[in-house]
Amino acid sequence: MYFHYCGIPILIFFCERVKIYRRNNAISHNKLLFQCFYNRCSAPAYHLILEGILILWIIRLLFSKTYKLQERSDLTEKEKEELIEEWQPEPLVPLVSKDHPSLSYDVVTGPPSHRIIVNGKECINFASFNFLGLLDSERVKLKALSSLKKYGVGTCGPRGFYGTFDVHLELEERLAKFMRTEEAIIYSYGFATIASAIPAYSKRGDIVFVDEAACFSIQKGLQASRSFVKYFKHNDMEDLERLLKEQEIEDQKNPRKARVIRRFIVVEGLYINAADICPLPELVKLKYKYKVRIFLEESMSFGVLGEHGRGVTEHFGVNIDDIDLISANMENALASIGGFCCGRSFVIDHQRLSGQGYCFSASLPPMLASAAIEALNIMEEDPGNNIYIHKNKCILPSSLIYGGFCRTPGLKTVGEPLTPALHLQLENSTGSRTNDLKLLRAIVDYSLDRQIALTLARYLDKEERFLPPPSIRVVVTVEQTQEEMEKAAQCIREAAVKILK
């Protein structure tokens, strides 16, 4: 640090001198030193003293010790010991009351499939994201079993160190082909997919425009990237454009800096927290207008939207190459474990060395990769017959279930008719989140007693950037029959009438 301070006087000192002598005497370089000395002798005394003091001061600065502010405390060893003795840390974690409502999880006995046993009661599952009903598909199970026979269970290593199995490569190829992109990369944990992908590209100083309703894994990815985050109102393209314009003005002020700041828009295809679809065509327009890259999270929409289940790009007929990166997990529609990113090789390949959750974590167990391959097979083979898309077209918008929920007194349905996971919120909040949750929980319990398995949408109250209001999340899957859906709607209506009065 001190170098800056003493460097300046030295510089001024010499520059001044050289300038004066050059101007006055117009002498050559090698004579300069001698002249300098000679002039010094003939200079007035006060000048010499001043310069002498200056030189001494510089020498003092050069040789004085550096110190950190912290270490300058004049505490004696005894005082330090006392401080250490006195210090009392907070407890590691605050005490949780034993009767906290979320502490006792609902226990599922047996497989979490269409028929599910929750807390000992056999129910119809309206809570798991098993959209395509592949969780208990015999074909998937058989494929997983044969894989288990060949590879065992674990991979015992990250992808780099003998953790890459041929099935991983096959799955990546299949996913890329299915999504019609150049390349795909798989992660061993759905949550870690987008949370690792964002910081692989967006670094400190870069700007990310994010929808307020973005899910928690996106938020964690943004936090890890240490980028500058700008939130726009949920699905509000005008608000996004306002932010982009603001940034454009900012860029004009400092064009040199603007040339290296990367910009991204991060959105979800189908929002898990808001149950609606992002306006992708408008986003693509904005992308080219303002030269921002789009990252799209499709965990909820993959396998659900679009004719073949390719997600929101297919739903809108947007060219998939216009989206820079698509990520989704394989835990919902594919009913396996893990997640994947796909896009152009130019983008995706970078993650193979920079995606932290990819490089530094054990790879996906081969049997789970095989299960995902088989699930993809089923999706590809018969898109019009036994799969969600068919149902999606006929049943969901038919206002049967949707309308059924809408007419529930005291509850309002949040979400678009096309979405398979709707939120039921209280029409009139009691004013306290805890009480709201208690009321909703009572509805869930009422339904559980009547063979309908529902769940509250869970959030981390203090960590969420924008905490959604409390809700019950109702998931519709291919396996539910019309009767079952009617029964569920009926049951929720009854519960609402009874509990909400």
Partner 1 sequence: CICKYNYHIPYNYLIYLFRLYNHHASCTLLYKKTFVESFEETPLLVAVLTYMGYGILTIFGYLRDFLRDWKFEKCHLAREREEQKDFVPLYQDFENFYTRNLYMRIRDNWNRPICSVPGAKMDLVERVTPDYNWTFEHTGNVLKDVINMGSYNYLGFAENTGTCADAASECTVKYGVGVSSTRQEIGNLDKHKELEKLVARFLGVESSMAFGMGFATNSMNIPALTGKGGLILSDELNHVSLVLGARLSGSTIRVFKHNNMQNLEKLLRDAIVHGQPRTHRPWKKILILVEGIYSMEGSILRLPEVIALKKKYKAYLYLDEAHSIGALGPRGRGVVDYFGLDPSDVDIMMGTFTKSFGAAGGYIGGKKELIDYLCLHSHSAVHATSMSPPITQQIITSMKCIMGEDGTTLGQERLCQLSENTTYFRRRLHEMGFIIYGNNDSPVVPLMLYMPAKIGAFGREMLKRNIGTVVVGFPATPIIESRARFCVSAAHTREMLDKALNAISEVGDLLQLKYSRKNRHGSEGTDCFSFLESHQD
Residues 69-88 that bind partner 1 (CB under 8 A): 70-71, 73, 75, 77, 80, 83-84, 87-88
x/- mask, partner 1, residues 371-390, rule CB under 8 A, reads x-------------------
Q: Do residues 260 and 289 touch, judged by C-beta distance below 8 A? A: no
**How far is residue 1 from each of residues 54, 359, 479, measured CA to CA in Å?**
19, 38, 69
Closest CA to 334 of 377, 372, 308: 372
**In 3D, which of 444, 449, 452 has the Cα closest to residue 499?**
444
Interface pick for partner 1 out of 26, 45, 46, 94 (rule CB under 8 A): 94
CB of 7 to partner 1, least distance (A): 25
Farthest-apart Cα atoms in the chain, separation: 110
Q: How far apart are CA 111 and CA 354, in angstroms?
A: 36
Taking CB under 8 A as the criterion, the residue among 114, 124, 128, 209 binding partner 1 is: 128
Q: Which is nearer to partner 1, 65 or 501 (CB)?
A: 65
Residue of 106, 239, 380, 445 that binds partner 1 (CB under 8 A): 106
d(CA 499, CA 401): 21
Q: Please, what is the minimum distance in Å from the beta carbon of residue 501 to partner 1?
A: 27
Decide the pairing of beta strands 421-426 and 411-414: antiparallel
* Coil/strand/helix, residue 426: strand
Q: Alpha-carbon torsion 139, 145, 149, 153, what sign?
A: positive
Nearest to 376 by CA among 295, 309, 443, 447: 309
Q: How far apart are CA 7 and CA 69, in angstroms?
A: 22
Q: Min. distance of Cβ 280 from partner 1 in angstroms?
A: 17
Cβ 299 to partner 1, closest distance in Å? 10
Indicate which single residue of 13, 21, 151, 228 sits in contact with partner 1 (rule: CB under 8 A): 151
Of residues 195-224, which lie at the interface with partner 1 (CB under 8 A)?
Answer: 201, 215-217, 220, 223-224
- Cβ closest to partner 1, residue 361 vs residue 451: 361
Q: How far is the CB of 465 from partner 1 (least distance, A)?
A: 13
Closest CA to 346 of 183, 207, 168, 177: 183
x/- mask, partner 1, residues 296-335, rule CB under 8 A, reads -------------------------x-------x-xx-xx
Distance CA 315, CA 303 (A): 11
Nearer to partner 1, 119 or 428 (CB): 119
Q: Which is nearer to partner 1, 35 or 361 (CB)?
A: 361
What minimum distance in Å lies between the beta carbon of 131 and partner 1?
8
The least CB distance from residue 186 to partner 1, in Å, is 13
Q: Which of residues 419-478 bind partner 1 (CB under 8 A)?
A: 453, 455-460, 463, 473
- Contact between residue 209 and residue 266 where contact means Cβ atoms under 8 Å apart: yes
The single-letter DSSP state of residue 440 is H
First-residue to last-residue Cα distance in the chain: 71
Task: Give yes or no for residue 367 binding partner 1 (CB under 8 A).
Answer: yes
Q: What is the dihedral of CA 490, 495, 498, 501, to 10 degrees?
A: -100
Among 357, 415, 468, 470, binds partner 1 (CB under 8 A): 357
For the CB of residue 59, give the shortest distance to partner 1 in the complex, in Å: 20
Residue with tokens 């089923």: 378
Dihedral sign computed on CA atoms, order 467, 472, 476, 477: positive
The phi-psi region of residue 415 (left if phi > 0; otherwise alpha if psi is between -120 and 50; otherwise beta) is left
Residues contacting partner 1: total by CB under 8 A: 124
Q: What residues numbered 158-177 form the site for partner 1, per CB under 8 A?
A: 159-166, 168-169
In the complex with partner 1, the residue whose CB is nearer, 17 or 344, is 344
For the segment 248-287, give every residue that binds partner 1 (CB under 8 A): 258-263
Q: Which is nearer to partner 1, 41 or 260 (CB)?
A: 260
CB closer to partner 1, 217 vs 408: 217
CB 229 within 8 A of CB 203: no
- Is residue 289 near partner 1 by the rule CB under 8 A? no
Decide: 119 and 106 in contact? Cβ < 8 Å.
Answer: yes
Q: Compare residues 386 and 398 and give the one whose CB is closer to partner 1.
A: 386
Residue 17 to residues 33, 39, 45, 358, Cα–Cα distance (Å): 11, 10, 17, 62
CB of 169 to partner 1, least distance (A): 6
99 makes contact with partner 1 (CB under 8 A)? no
How near is the Cβ of 34 to partner 1 at its closest, in Å?
42
- Min dist CB 17 to partner 1, Å, is 37
| Assigned token pair, 415 | 């979400």
Nearer to partner 1, 27 or 360 (CB): 360
- Binder to partner 1 among 65, 253, 256, 501 (CB under 8 A)? 65
Structure tokens that stand for 157 in this block: 């290593």
| Choice between 135 and 240, CB closer to partner 1 | 135
Nearest distance in Å: CB 55, partner 1: 26
